[in-house]
Amino acid sequence: MADFDPTHTDPGEEMPLPTVACWRCGLMAAAADEYCPHCGAGLVRSSAKAGRRAKHDESRPLKIALWSYAALLTTGIIHGGVLSARFGDVEDVTPRISREALYQIAVVEAIDTIIVVAAFIALAAGEPMAPLTETRRISAWFAAVPLLAGMLAINFMYHEFLRQVLRLPLIQDDVLQQRGWLTFVVVCIQPAIVEEVYCRGFAMGLLRRVTGSHAAVWIAAAMFAMMHVAVLLSIPYLFLVGLLLGYLRLASGTIWLPIIVHFLHNLAVLLREWN
């Protein structure tokens, strides 16, 4: 119940704003809020017009998220077809071929960036997260360091297992051997920014409107892993990376922490390949 007496008429006193309980987390939110400030759920309004708008709001963002996800997957498939057509019969991967493959990856990533930007414009959304305590926010930054180290260890062990024990070829090794600013941008900069903005910013924020925070993290992690169609055998590991980055986003309340962690992760992998 709101804490006020409607019969009290002190002109100097502000009337408290009416509040409602969020349908998902049960915490109180201002009646005028469109989204719950605690869990991000869309708040249903009582009027029919608002109900129609809420229904419209629910399906349109989800459709944009799913269509943009499908578009990103499609670019991956097309890239796979082009790679296969161009390099399918190649036996020895020469530096020229590696360079050409790298240029192809750069073009695909440019297209992916355009798709993500288009999705943002279509929704005009940056999804805010629920307010967090200062302690939790700072702890997330400190916890990221050992968590990143642990994830890199898992990465190296898993891919070493694929290479040495199962003796499976990993084509990206040859592409990563190309030293230069283009490799750095393609491997470290673009994925860290675009993939994080899309998966942990855009998609996770939209999903939190209709599912719980944990479900949003897990689903966004699945999207992140599946988007890497070109590296099928790395998908299980990438799902774990997606979970880590999602929980860091949740704990820190900012997109910058997962961007930095993703950048450092990819940089570590690249430096290991170069050395």
Partner 1 sequence: MNDATSPGELGSLAQSARTKQLKSARGILLFVGILTLAINAFFGSQARTMVNAEIEKEIKKLPFGTEVDQGKVDELRETAVRSVQMSSFIAAGLGVVFIIFAMMVYKYPVPITIASLVLYVGSAAVFGFLDPATLGKGVIIKVLIAAGLFKAVQAAIASERETQPMAAA
Q: Which residues bind partner 1 (CB under 8 A)?
A: 1-2, 18-24, 28, 31, 43-44, 55, 58-59, 62, 66, 69-70, 73-74, 76-77, 80-81, 84, 162, 166-169, 207, 210-212, 215, 218-219, 222-223, 225-227, 229-230, 232-233, 235-236
Least Å from the CB of residue 26 to partner 1: 9
With respect to partner 1, which residue has the nearer C-beta, 209 or 254? 209
Sign of CA dihedral 244, 249, 252, 257: positive
* Count of Cβ atoms closer than 10 Å to residue 254 Cβ: 18
Shortest distance, position 36 Cβ to partner 1, whole Å: 10
Q: To 5 degrees, how large is the angle CA 185–CA 188–CA 191?
A: 95
CB nearer partner 1, residue 8 or residue 167: 167
- 3-state SS string for 24-69: CCCCEEECCCCECCCCCCECCCCCHHHHHHHHHHHHHHHHHHHHHH
Phi, psi of 125 (to 5 degrees): -120, 135
Shortest distance (Å) from residue 115 CB to partner 1: 14
Identity of the residue, 243 or 257, whose beta carbon is nearer to partner 1 in the bound complex: 243
- Residue 2 is encoded by which pair of tokens? 């709101």
Nearer to partner 1, 22 or 101 (CB): 22
Give the residue carrying structure tokens 């790298």: 102
Closest CB 37 distance from partner 1, rounded Å = 15
Cβ neighbour number for residue 12 with a 10 Å cutoff: 4
By beta-carbon proximity to partner 1, the closer residue of 69 and 178 is 69
